[in-house]
Structures are given as C-alpha cells and as structure tokens.
Structure 1
Amino acid sequence: MKKKYFALGIALAAALTLAACGKKSTTTSSKQVLTVATNAEMATLSTTKYSDTTSLEALENTFEGLYRFNAKNKPVLAGAASVKVSQDKKTYTFNLRKNAKWSNGDPVTANDYVFAWRKMVDPKSASPNSQRFQPIKNGTQIAAGKLPVKDLGVKALGKYKLQVTLEAPISYFSELMTGAPFYPQDEKIVNKYGSSYGTSASKTVYNGPFVVKNWNGTNLKWNYVKNPDYWDKKTVSLKKVNVQVVKDASTAANLYKTNKLDYAMLTTDYIQQYKNTAGYHVKTIPLIGYMSFNTHRKTTANVHFRKAIAQAFNKELLVKNVLHAGSPLNGIVPKGFAYNSKTGSDYRSDAGNMLTYNLKAARKQWALAKQELGQRKITIQLLTSDTTDSKQVGEYLQSQLETHLPGLSVNIRSIPLKSRLAATSAYDFDIVYGTWQPDYADPVNFISDGGQYHLDDDYQNANFRKLLNQAATTYATNINQRWKTLIKAEKQLLQKDAFTAPVYQGAMSYLLKAKVKGLQISPYGTVLFYRNVQIK
C-alpha cells in the first residue's frame, strides 16, 4: 500500500505553530532553548510509518540520511562522507562516515540503510511512503509483491560502503535522499522492540542532531534535545526544543503578542490581525490543499460525482475570505515549484488549468451523477482534522457544495489528525480534505503521490500508469518529452477521471522574534529545521 496522506491539517500551510520559550534567552549556551507549539499530535517516530507533518518534523530533526539540506536549503552530503556516480548515472556508491553513531552508541552502518529501505518497500510493512522508492531499482515491483525485498537496488559493499542502483537516471537524486523514508534504522533496536519500535521516545534511537525525549506515544508535550553522539555536534548551538500541541491558533498568537513565544504560525483571520506586526512574514510554499474520494463507495466512485464536486466551489473566495493567503489550485502540481531545466518554464504554466471553479460544468456533471446513481438527493460526509483551519476550510466547502449542487447534503466530521489518518487508511470516509507538501522538486512527486489517498491501490488507469512508466524510463533523459508525458498523466488523473479535487496552494504566514536566528523552513513546505538555530 502506498498511500501517503500528508494531512497537515490546514490552510496556509500550517502544519506547525511554533514559538520560543517565555523566559528571555541569552547568547550563553545554557540558554539555547526554544519552545514551540505544533497544532497536531505526533503519530510515530518510525521512518517507515509516518504520514503526518508533526512526525516528519520530529524525524527530520532527529535522524539523518545520506544527504541533508544545508543553511541555504541545498542538499549536501550528511551521513555519507563521499559518493562516486557511475558513467550512466544509475549507480551511486557511498562511503559512510565512520564516526556516525546512533544515540545508543551503535555505529551507523551500510546495513542500517539496507535494512530500513527493504522494510520500507516490503508489502508486509504497508508503508505510506513506499512509492518514494519507485526510482530505486525494482522498488515498484517489490512494493507490488512481484519481487523479493532482497532485489531492491541497495547493497552493503562493506560496513561503511553503500551502493544504490536506480531504474533510470533522475535529476533530483540528492533531494530525494534528504527525505525521511531514506533514513537508516538500527536493526538491533528495531528487532528488539518489534511492532513497538517508534511508538515512544524511549523505544527509538537517533542519528541526527537531536534526540526525542519525554514522548510516550500519546502525550501532547515532548522535547528535542541536542544529541551528544551526533558526529557534527559542534555545529549545533541549540540545547533543547520544548514542544507542545496547541490546536487553537489564537492561543499561540496571543502568547507571541505578550512576548511568551518567539515564533508563531498565523492562520485564517489572525493574518489580517497581525500582518502589520513587527516580525510578520509570508512565504508562498508548495503545500497544497485538496479533497480525495473513497472510490470503494458507490457515490464517490462515480466519475461524474467527483467532477461535480471538483468544480463546484469558488477557490478565489476561499483564498480571499477564509485563508487570507495562498492562491487557487487548478492542478495537482503547484506553481513556482518545478521548472523545465531546458526551457526554464514553470510546470504549472506549461500544464495549464485542469479543474477550475466552473458552476455550469459542475451542474452538468451533477445531473449525470444523480441520473447514474438513481438518486435525487445525496448525502455525503466530509472528513477533516480538528484544527481550526481544517474545520474552517471544511465548512466553506460544505456551504459552497450544498449551495451550488441542488440535492446535496454535506456532513462534516472533524477529528484529531492521528485519528483522521487512521480513518482514511481504513477507508472510513466519503471525501477527505487534507493538505500535503512535497519531498523533492519534480512534478512527478505530486502526480504519482501528492497526498492522494490510496492512489497506487485504487487508481489503476492503464494510460496513467503507462505515462508514468514512460516518464521514468523511456524519456528519463529526454527532458522536454518527459515534461509533456507528465502533463498528459496529470490530465488523465484530474481532467478525465477527477481522482482528486485540487483546492488551493498554501502560503506560510508567521511571526518571528528577531532574537531567533537560523530557523529554516523546508523548501517543500512547513517543516522547520532546528539544526542551525541560535538564540541571540
């Protein structure tokens, strides 16, 4: 199962509402403490099981793979000391850092990567992120149960030498390797705890700049503490990050205003209220809001119903009156994200609009849906997380859909993110609203994944699969032809089948105190990197 639901719980990009401690920090190392708030619970510390942004942020600050992002958000070698690339650009041989250790003192070895990667693609693991291994040799066939996990294109050539083989050359390999699915795991510890691995801070070991402390799997407070065993610990100034779940954005905004927080994510109406405040920032990011349909249920399996839903809500008004930031999204790939390396053109501009707000077209599809379903009145449930932004977007969609599609009733079910993810995985939904941020800067990341629930299992359109395969193999090195092929695949997915309904592209609005230096935002969304933070 390759379902990735990066539900971030909301608009603007708000997976995280962060802030720094109420006590005044100084430049002395003992005071290098940051206190932050996130708007959703953490679900797991296992790289093979995560599908939410809170867990991703924890992993990206406490684990490290072959590459990481530097202070300029460019991929650089991390767990690997050097790399040699074959002439055909399909085989990468890494020499790992011999001084890299796990937080229990175990060395980080090539086998730790082989073990974790094989586990990721093993169908028995049902990882939400196994589709990330499609570029790795045999990754797709193994995840589909057609080949054994030992055939994956990763091999330990020695204790500290790792070989990675691709299906075809890809231009975004180093960016791909920065992602959490490609982190290693300490096999000894994973085997020790079995299914309990990653369910609490004490049942996980780390090889990154920080370790997680005081998370028991369900509590709403935990810490990131500087890792004394990290190979590059001398470059890490921050001693501790205190984290707590704060779902109410107004609470975080008020704490910032009273100087009890150093950083606060702004959502909905708070943008209007605080946009003239010192320290206000806004940044367009490649986070998308979208609706996915449960195609195992009769109503939502109907293509006319999906097309009606996808075109029946005014995206401009959503952005203007509810989100107060961002822009309408009419395709699964956002703007300003991926560019043709030959022409320099933006993918979204080249691909054009796929599903726009079009009331006339929506009502035509609605009539066809009711006719085929044999119903004059239809009631469906819209599932969202219980964050303020998610609920507000859900309520807006409910109002628009009920107003524009006569005979439609929409019931909203808002539950904690962790529960929403579980419900979506179990097909306990009609339509689900969520947000998603990418893993690497290529259109295929959205088209073949994009947070679209159960895409690999439930959307088996032969033309779509053929086009993705051609883009990955036949046209892998033909940049322009690959671009055109991906556009065709997106049109099949959205225009012809409306498997997903794009809603908006997010913008991150936040308040940041001047004393917090070096706080990085992931180039792919709202995840924060604490490695280079200093409190001045």
Structure 2
Amino acid sequence: MKRNKFWLLGTLILTVTFILSACGNQNSSNSSNKQVLTVATSAEMATLSTTKYSDTTSLEALQNTFEGLYRFNSQNKPVLAGASKVSISSNKKVYTFTLRKNARWSNGDPVTAKDYVFAWRKMVDPTAASPNSQRFESIKNGVAIASGKMASTKLGIKALGTYKLQITLESPISYFSELMTGAPFYPQDEKIVKKYGNQYGTTAKKTVFNGPFVVTNWNGTNLKWNYVKNKKYWDKKAIKLQKVNVQVIKDASTAANLYKTNKLDYAMLTTDYIKQYQKTSGFHSKTIPLIGYMSFNTHRKTTANIHFRKAIAMAFNKESLVKNVLHTGSTLNGIVPKNFAYNTTTGDDYRKDAGNMLTYNLKEAKKQWAEARKELGKRKISIELLTSDTTDSKQIGEYLQSQLETNLPGLSVSLRSIPLKSRLAATTDYDFDIVYGTWQPDYADPVNFISDGGQYHLDDDYNNRNFRNLLNEAATKYATNPTKRWSTLIKAEKQLIKTDAFTAPVYQGGTAYLLKNKVKGLQLSPYGTVLFYRNVSIK
C-alpha cells in the first residue's frame, strides 16, 4: 500500500481564506441576505474520491459534501448522521446501525447498507492502494486484508438488509464514533462508481454526493469550483447556506489585504501575517493538533541511513522556527502533539507522559552527521527537500535549508517547491529525498499519529518487528487496559521516532484567523483547520 496522507501532507492548511459575496435579497422569508459565501483556498483540489484523497483541500470538499454514519455537531461532538440509531453488543465489538430511509444520493439513488460495504471493501483492497487504508486497522480483518493475506469480503462489515448495517471490530475502541466521522468511512454509490471506473471522483460530474452540499463546476484541474446546497439531502431544511464559491489563491498577502479593505469576512493567516494582524479586530489564535514533519525516502542510500536521518532531525532550531517564522504553534519533539490525547485513567497528556524524543541537539546532530558521512563514504552530501508551493511551505523549507546547511558542514540542500497535487504524486512515486508536509488527525488517540501521522510509506517501508508487535498488542491484548495500552503506545513511538528516526517532527501547528461577526456558525474541525459549512449563515 502506498501512503501519502493528507492529511499529511497538505501544507496548505494554515492559509485558507474566506470572502463574503455581495449581499442581495434572498427568496427565503427568514433573511434579507443572500446566503452565499466565497472562499479562497491556498491549494488545488486533487480528488473527490473518498478512497483516494490525501490532501486537505480534497478532505474539506469531502467532509462538506459526503456524510457517514456519524458527523460532528456544532459543538464538535460526534452524533449520528447517516444512521438514525445504533445498538452495541455487550462486548463493545459489534455495532448494528439502522440507516435513514430518507437519505438519498444527489442523483436520487437511496443510500443503502450496500453502499457502505462496497466503499469500505474497496478502501482496504491492497490493489486499490488507498492512502487511507490503515484507518481500517481496528475493523475486523482490516490488517490482514490490507496486507493481502485475506479477501476484502472478509472485512468486518455486513449489510443485514437494505437499511441495516453491522460493523465488527477487532477489539473495543473508545473513539469509535469519532473514527466514523472520517471521510474514509463514507459510503459510495456503487452504481456510479462502477459506471465511471477509474474516472470516478476526477470531476464533479463524475461524482454523486450524500451530504449537505454538492460540488459543481470542478473539471479536475481548474482552480475554481462551488459547493451548492444539496436538494436531495435528508436534512436540507437545517442548511441555511445556499452556495460556497471556491477559488485557489496561493498568496496569503492577497487574502490579508482583502480582509483589511472589508472584502473578506474570514481570513486564515500565516507566518508573517499573523504578527502583522494580531492586533486587528477579529483576530483569533490557538494551538491545534496539526503537525509539521519531514519524511525520508528510505529507498535511497543517503536517506535510508539512520545516522543521516537522526542528524537531520536534530539539526534545526525548533524554538526559532516557531517564534520567528510561524508566529504560532509550538515545538514538537515526537510524532504525537501535546494537548491532544489524555490517559483515561490518570487524565495525563500523552505527550507529557511520552516525553521528548528528537529535540534540537546540535552536539548530537554533528555526532550523527559524522557517522553518516563515514558510513556513506562521503565528505559532501547533496539532497533535495520537497515542499508544496504555498507561501508558508516555502518559508519553512527555506528555514530548514538554512539551518541544515549551517549546522551540518558538507551538506547541500536544494529546494523543490511544486503545486500540492504534484507534490503528493511525487511523494507517492518516491520521487523525493526528503519531503516536508503537515498532517492533522482524525480522532483523539495517540495511535492515529503513531500508525499514520502523515508518515509517507509507513506501511510499505517501515517493517520493524518490535514496532508492529507493539501496535498489535495495543490494539488487541491491551485494548481494554488503558494503562498498559498507553505505555505500549509510548514504546511504539520511541521505536519509530527516537530509535529509528523514520520521521523527523518539525513543529506543532497553530491556527490564526480574522473573523467578522456577520458570518455565523462557521466551524473548524476539532483536530485541525478543515472547515464545516453545514451550520453557516450570513446575518
């Protein structure tokens, strides 16, 4: 399986901006304003297929136009959505859902249990090479199927009737409802997917939707599209917003200037613009469980060298990056961020319990650098750092380039900044030495970062037996023992990050934005900066 998370990876996340359209009379008697929002995002959309996405722009589109068994409500708590009720077995491993009989796809087809079965089986099928297949590890037989040891028909999901769906887990998990809000667990209209084959999800016209909005006017490559209220959505009366216009604008300064001149009602700020606008009315800032990281191509001799990876991971000043470049967020010395997951027994923060794993340590970095050059037989080493072409990604790439070349004598770092869609493809195809990206989680548990976390080709290339055994123990043997499970996950993270430096943590992200009070109900996802339009209205 190939892995190129969006998560992971979209470095666009901190640069989304929103532009309010001109006001006008609406047909509705409830408002004198036209319920239309115009949005500028910093990166292009890659796909509308729930089995293929790995970028934040695509994820935002999916989470506003599709719906699974659960969704987040206005308080960012998971509630039933595509299902009207659920029963849970006494051993907490079997969930039986009753689907809504009035749920429809945007073409009028009913949303049935078979649509979930079809989509999930395709997701775990190794021939589909979905970048999100690892999300099904907690579903019965998910791991065996993804590794090619079992047929996808053995996945723990069954259609017990047209509107009755049963899901069986390998072991009980406390975050099941949160997990089910994620895009990989959405259904697909089997008839439409089979009609378009590999072309499904490549354009708006070759996709159907079951969420509050549908995508229109996206041909697969253009930089403008729309979200339009879905007339077939079962809960359409609750949706106030009629339309969202989306345009890709990669220059963050353009968005900031539009807000300043009252042409923007919501603007996400990045890097220098955070400092510039932090005293502006409507400014908000907070740390979020988003991470920036570097992944290494272990198929190349230099980046496969463990001493080289450790040298890179410890040779840049993280405090300076956060303070002088990002102006938000905090340092990150492990793959799991702080203030994200808490021990259900003690209430302690996971990051505090796990401690630091790869810190800025120039003395140790130079020691590892000397070992790397010795083993590689080179005094001078040249590598390329791949980033997306958004403003913040390029600035972070330039900072890393400067720090690494200064602190590791004999190292030459060239930068390649390309559109996000191209960067994702290059990473999937192993066309990189080191790639910088960002990733945001899907549910509040450390395993989401340790077994995924945007780490490219983790399943394919990191085959450490101890790591795999520890993850398996956490998922099965200690599934109902929070204390043992916690300590086992910490051991797994130490193996992955501290011992093997498979990934280099860079920083924990923050979000900063300007918001005018005429836009009501706009939500940021609880684990990052994906926006939910469902509850938005223009006053």
Work out whether residues 308 and 362 of structure 1, in 8 Å CA contact, stay in contact via their aligned partners in 2: yes
Q: Specify the alignment match of 1:18 in structure 2.
A: 17
Matches of residues 25-424 of structure 1 in structure 2 within 5 Å? Answer: 28=31, 31-424=34-427
- Post-superposition CA distance 1:332-379 (Å, at most 9, x none): 000010001111000000000000000000000000000000000000
Are 1:455 and 2:454 an aligned pair?
A: no
| TM value normalised by structure 2 | 0.98
Equivalent AA in structure 2 for residue 23 of structure 1: A
- 1:200-222 residue CA offsets vs partner (Å, 9 max, x unmatched): 00100000000001000000000
Say if 2:24 and 2:33, in contact at 8 Å, map to a contact too: no
What is the CA distance between 1:261 and its match in structure 2? Answer: 1.3
CA distance in 2, matches of 1:241, 1:44: 18
| 2:5 counterpart residue number | 5
Tell me the distance in 1 between the aligned counterparts of 2:9 and 2:481. 35
User: Which of 516, 521, 538 is the aligned partner of 1:518?
Assistant: 521
Q: Quote the Cα distance in structure 1 between the aligned partners of 2:178 and 2:21.
A: 36
1:285 to 1:526, Cα distance in 2 relative to 1, 3 A: same
Runs of 5+ consecutive residues of structure 1 not aligned to the other structure: none
Letter in 1 for 2:3: K
**Distance apart, 1:8 and its partner CA:** 4.8
In structure 1, distance between residues paired with 2:349 and 2:226: 40
Deviations 1:286-321 (A, max 9, x none): 000000000000000000000000000000000001
Unaligned runs of 5+ in 2: none
Tell me how far apart the structure 2 counterparts of residues 116 and 4 of structure 1 sit (CA, whole Å).
Answer: 19
User: Deviation of residue 29 (structure 1)?
Assistant: 6.6
Report the alpha carbon displacement of residue 151 of structure 1 after superposing the two structures with TM.
Answer: 0.1
Find the aligned partners of 1:74 and 1:5 in 2 and give their Cα distance. Answer: 24
SS of corresponding position for 1:212: strand
Contact kept? 2:144, 2:150, Cα under 8 Å: yes
Paired residue secondary structure (2:311): helix
Q: 2:445 aligns with which of 442, 446, 459?
A: 442
Asked if the contact 1:9–1:390 (Cα under 8 Å) also holds between the matched residues in 2, the reply is no
Per the TM alignment, residue 21 of structure 1 is displaced from its structure 2 partner at its CA by: 2.2
Residues 395-449 of structure 1: CA deviation (Å, up to 9, x unaligned): 0000000000000000000000000000000000000000000011000000000
Please point out which of 477, 482, 487 is paired with 1:479: 482
Query: Percent sequence identity over matched residues?
Result: 79
Distance 1:30 1:201, change over 3 A: farther
Question: Which whole-Å CA distance do the structure 2 matches of 1:365 and 1:214 have between them?
Answer: 52
Residues 118 and 187, structure 2, Cα contact 8 Å, conserved in 1:
yes
Q: Distance in 2 between matches of 1:120 and 1:9?
A: 21
Letter in 2 for 1:276: K
Q: Alignment partner of 1:31: what SS?
A: coil
Mean Cα displacement is larger for which, 19-28 or 76-85?
19-28
Aligned length: 534
Contact 1:23 1:260 in 2 (8 A): no
Which residue identity lines up with residue 233 of structure 2 in the other structure?
Y
SS in 1 for 2:187: coil
Q: In structure 1, what residue type is equivalent to 2:271?
A: T
Equivalent residues of 1:4, 1:449 under 8 A apart: no
Helix, strand or coil at the partner of 1:20: strand
Say if 2:172 and 2:479, in contact at 8 Å, map to a contact too.
Answer: yes
Q: Does the 8 Å contact 1:326/1:504 carry over to 2?
A: yes
**Correspondent of 2:536 among 519, 533, 536:** 533
The Cα shift of 1:9 comes to 4.3
Give distance in 2, aligned partners of 1:205 and 1:456: 31
Shift of 1:284: 1.1
What one-letter code is carried by the residue in structure 2 that aligns with 1:144?
A: S
The two structures have a TM-score, normalised by structure 1, of 0.98
1:452-492 C-alpha deviation (Å, 9 max, x unpaired): 00000000000000000000000000000000000000000
